[in-house]
Amino acid sequence: MIRRATEEPVTQQPTPPAIHTLTLDGEEVSFTAGETLIDITYRHHKDVPNLCYDPRLEPFGACRLCIVELEGANNPVASCTTLAEPNMVVTTRTARLETHRRVLMEMVASENRDIDVDPLSGYASQQMRELVDQYDARTGRFQGEQSGTSREDDDNPFIKRDYDNCISCYRCVRVCAEQEGDYAISVMNRGFDTQITTEFEGLLVDSACTFCGQCIQTCPTGALADLKALANKDVPGETVTTRTICPYCGVGCTVDVMTRGEQIVGVLPAMDGPANEGALCVKGQFAFDFVHHPDRLATPLVRGDDGELHEASWDEALDRAATGFRKVLDEHGRHSVYGVASGRAPTEACYMLQRFIRAGFGTNQIDNCSRA
């Protein structure tokens, strides 16, 4: 198997991996066994163009834009699927490579309805447009039938399935299988008729899809698009992203929250998030409406003698809670209390609850909902 560069080889005793060298655009560079050529070009900021590459996924080799010249090989080779070998001589830009890349981009441009899509569509949605412009590929050559059929019948609230704009890079299918382990989508048919599908061409809700949104964020064309973000496309203002942590659970996925003015317009996963490496679940990805929801609590509430909830200060509210707990303890004893920590709570909060129940009440009746 080809190993991704980020994975360490499994060995009994950690021996440092052997360092080899090869020539990259005339410079000697070092690499470790198991790295692909594209990994090395990235490390040296060569920006080899690509559309089917996602560093988190197994090498695939669909778009052929990442071709490089390899001394001794007749044809260019795809750098994303070629393992580096000692003393290779690799060139990333030549007239021949640039000609093929331009022809490939003209071909890709010819199969889609849109090249320009709203950046709110998703994290990678501008990738194809950028390459079309970089290679000046809006020439109108190679016109013919367009590929893919959009699923306008799929009325799920999260994911737009606009396959008229699909270029069959299969990143969505691969991210769903390799990153999510959901295997909700696959490739149907062959050749120009390939189509991303669920089993029996059904709707996403009827499939194994968990609406994690990973497929959206890796799609390089906006064919899969974030409907929740696109719903905010008319919100005025420039999109600003703010790095933060998803509030939903203890995993602590890093997210980049997109705002315009005071309004959250969407969420992007952070590809460099240490806990998630670009992954999110349906909640972190799509469930941000609560922030601006009118029902959301903004201050503590305590119930008054009239039986209604009234706004209160934190001191007031905590005193009221403490009084209540003490009353239960006095009247019914220490084993009348049972604490359940939320699965959404981080370890520190779980620890605090455990201390609170054990030391505060003197009982071992403490549990966590994720054990149920």
Q: Which residues bind another protein (CB under 8 A)?
A: 1-2, 51, 59-65, 67, 75-76, 78, 81, 83, 96, 99-100, 103-104, 107-108, 110-111, 141-145, 147, 167-168, 170, 177, 183-194, 197-200, 207-208
The reply to whether 66 sits near ligand SF4 by the rule CB under 6 A is no
The burial of 212, by beta-carbon neighbours within 10 Å (0-12 exposed, 13-18 middle, 19 or more buried), is given as buried
Q: With CB cut-offs between 5 and 8 Å by kind, which of another protein, ligand FES, ligand SF4, none does residue 121 bind?
A: none
Return the number of the residue (224 or 264) whose C-beta is nearest ligand SF4: 224
**For 36, which DSSP code?**
B
Q: With CB cut-offs between 5 and 8 Å by kind, which of ligand FES, ligand SF4, another protein, none does residue 29 bind?
A: none
The reply to whether 105 sits near ligand SF4 by the rule CB under 6 A is no
Span from 48-56, 129-137, 171-179, 200-208 in contact with ligand FES (CB under 6 A): 48-56
Using an 8 Å Cβ cutoff, are 221 and 121 in contact? no
Long-range contacts of 260-264 (CB under 8 A, 24+ apart): 260/232, 260/235, 260/236, 261/235, 261/236, 261/237, 263/232, 263/235, 263/292, 264/288, 264/291, 264/292
CA 245, CA 256: separation in Å to the nearest integer?
Answer: 8
Positive or negative, the CA dihedral 55, 58, 64, 67 is positive
Q: Binding string, 50-89, against ligand FES, x = CB under 6 A?
A: xxxx-------xxxxxx-----------x-x---------
The reply to whether 267 sits near ligand SF4 by the rule CB under 6 A is no
Q: Binding string, 221-260, against ligand FES, x = CB under 6 A?
A: ----------------------------------------
What's phi and psi for 224, nearest 5 deg?
-100, 125
The reply to whether 219 sits near ligand FES by the rule CB under 6 A is no
Which residue among 65, 120, 209, 270 contacts ligand SF4 (CB under 6 A)? 209
CB of 7 to ligand SF4, least distance (A): 21
Site for ligand FES in 86-115 (CB under 6 A): none
Long-range contacts of 154-158 (CB under 8 A, 24+ apart): 154/203, 154/204, 155/203, 156/203, 156/204, 156/205, 156/211, 156/227, 157/227, 157/228, 157/286, 158/211, 158/213, 158/226, 158/227, 158/228, 158/282, 158/285, 158/286
Beta bridge partners of 83: 36
CB of 225 to ligand FES, least distance (A): 21
The reply to whether 279 sits near ligand SF4 by the rule CB under 6 A is no
Task: Report how many helices (DSSP H) and strands (DSSP E) the chain contains, helices first.
Answer: 9, 16
Return the number of the residue (80 or 225) whose C-beta is nearest another protein: 80
Q: With CB cut-offs between 5 and 8 Å by kind, which of another protein, ligand FES, ligand SF4, none does residue 171 bind?
A: ligand SF4
Using an 8 Å Cβ cutoff, are 90 and 77 in contact? no
Using an 8 Å Cβ cutoff, are 340 and 369 in contact? yes
The footprint of ligand FES (CB under 6 A) covers 50-53, 61-66, 78, 80
The footprint of ligand SF4 (CB under 6 A) covers 166-172, 175-176, 180, 182, 184-185, 196, 209-215, 218-221, 223-224
